[in-house]
Amino acid sequence: MSVSRICVVTGGSKGIGAAVAADLSAAGHRVVLAARDREALDRTAKVLPGPVLTVPVDLTAPDAADELFGRVEGAWGPAEVLVAAAGAGASAKLTGTSDELWEQQLALNLTAPFRCVRRAVPSMQAAGWGRIVVVASVAAKTGAPYVAAYTAAKHGVLGLVRSAAAELAGSGVTVNAVCPGYVDTPMTDATVAAIAARTGRGEEQARAALARMQPIGRLIRPEEVAAVVRLLLENEALNGQGITVDGGGVQS
């Protein structure tokens, strides 16, 4: 993307979203950071080298996508890139997964990206150019114990990506997903703490166990995921893909 674009990054205050935002900003793009935590947004915005707009928003609210994209359009114009990186996991046995937990996971990991994609697409189609990348997970491609709700949501969002890509093919708008394994982010820190609490193991042991789940023997770095996002933004021939970034664990 040699031209400077208006890039919306949800979940942009930390983790993968912050790494994507930093990468895009360094490449000369205008970056919109959207997340719930205003203070975290401000901290991330301060270290970006280029123009940045912060939008504190709860993406699980029904009108959040309209609020977010309306703010962007009012300040800079229509969004040209959407990176939907907001998400969170939760762990529970299948029989211990409450309706509330189930709905929470679908709301954040599936419904919120859907609403953002739906809101972003019309102006991208009108312009004849757009890029959408959803940060999914290896859980979009394979199942694991104790994460039924999270896995169902991530499988669903990969289905959304594939269907949207097929529908928009030839319009100049591409839709893809990245599917990371365990990444060295605050979300993984929370997973480590949950494992330690459930099993009685120390957090160092729990973190080492997660690192071993990647064949390369370590956690994935957020910057490595951001580099794949950038590839998907630059290459129109990549469409409808779910690119796994996990050191070779899920080969697809």
Residues classed as catalytic? 150
Using CA of residue 234, residue 237, residue 241, residue 242, what is the dihedral sign?
A: negative
Per-residue burial over 134-170, b if 16 or more Cβ lie within 10 Å, else e, is bbbbbbbbeeeebbbbbbbbbbbbbebbbebbeebee
Give me the residue label for tokens 């972003």: 120
DSSP string, 69-133: HHHHHHHT-S-SEEEE-------B-GGG--HHHHHHHHIIIIIHHHHHHHHHHHHHHHHT-EEEE
Please name which of 11, 54, 3 lies closest in space to residue 29, comparing C-alpha atoms. Answer: 3
Q: Which residues contact 90 (CB under 8 A, 6 or more apart)?
A: 101, 104, 105, 147, 149, 150
- Cα distance between residue 252 and residue 249, in whole Å: 10
